[in-house]
Amino acid sequence: MKRLLIFAFFLSVMICLLTGPAAAAHWADGYIDGLAAAGVLGGDFDPPTGGMDVPMTRQEFISLVVKALYGAKEPAAALGVFADFADVRPALTGYISAAYDENILHGSPVSGRLHILPGSPVSRQDAATILGRATGYSYGVPPDFTDAHGIAPYAADYVSAISNTGAFAGYPDGTFRPRASITWGEGAAIVERLRRSGFFSPPEITIVLGSVAHDFTGDGRSPAGFNAPSGLLVEGGVIYVADANNNQIFRSDGDGAASVYAGRIMGYDLYDRALGGLHNN
């Protein structure tokens, strides 16, 4: 029996040596899985082999945000506005180019030229700025952190806005640590939280009143077109539009049609602009 126990012990040791220890789960694995399922990770852009606790670079974070927002991008040949574009990982050049086109990436001035600094770790304040520009979400209230004085002016509104979403919070001691770098796990978690919350979904815009025509049909039935509308009031579901060049105020019940509420066209001047007169319908 003793020999059998000794044999079992040595057998278990050999199995551990041959197979290695089981990989421990990382706290960000669920966020990584969500990004992979959504197609944001994978293909031309994968997590690093060094693990989730390695710093995320600027080119990686920008690419992660752009791909979450716009989908896959083909590599770009060149982007002359940046002196170090050639240092961008080839598979990520399309995302960096798209970030510049969409006003997400402005670059950092170095020796009189704009630089991306693609291989540098992305700081927390820069990550918030990139996210704010990408989602169009800023907050005109100073950040409520004990170290808010250390946040760069260009990042303050974005830090305030993104931290307000709950996806990118500060630390238990009340600090934000704006210049600290974020890890891959942190970056993936922030982007996936915002993606799940709908911040990367394109906005839905519905035209309720107006047309591309610079005129007006005020019969209450036809689609409304205005000529230089200059004021808008919504009251109890009723829409009032002050039309400068027609010298009239129009009313609509929100069904796409409008009728004259006040004012009258008395003729037209030399520039074919309406001459108004006092009239109450």
User: Do 134 and 189 lie in a common domain?
Assistant: yes
| Same domain (yes/no): 165, 35 | yes
Q: Is residue 67's pLDDT more than 70? A: yes
- Structural domain including 233 reads 219-280
In a domain? residue 149? yes
- Are 113 and 153 part of one and the same domain? yes
43 and 96 fall within a common domain: yes
pLDDT in tens, 141-189: 889 999 999 999 999 999 999 999 989 989 999 999 999 999 999 999 9
pTM of the model: 0.67
Q: Is 251 found in the same domain as 130?
A: no
> Do 146 and 252 fall into the same domain?
no
The whole-number average pLDDT for the span 199-212 is 68
The pLDDT of residue 235: 79
Our count of domains for the chain comes to 2
pLDDT of residue 40: 94
107 and 239 together in one domain:
no
Q: What percent of the chain has pLDDT over 70?
A: 77
* Alpha-carbon Rg for the chain in angstroms: 29
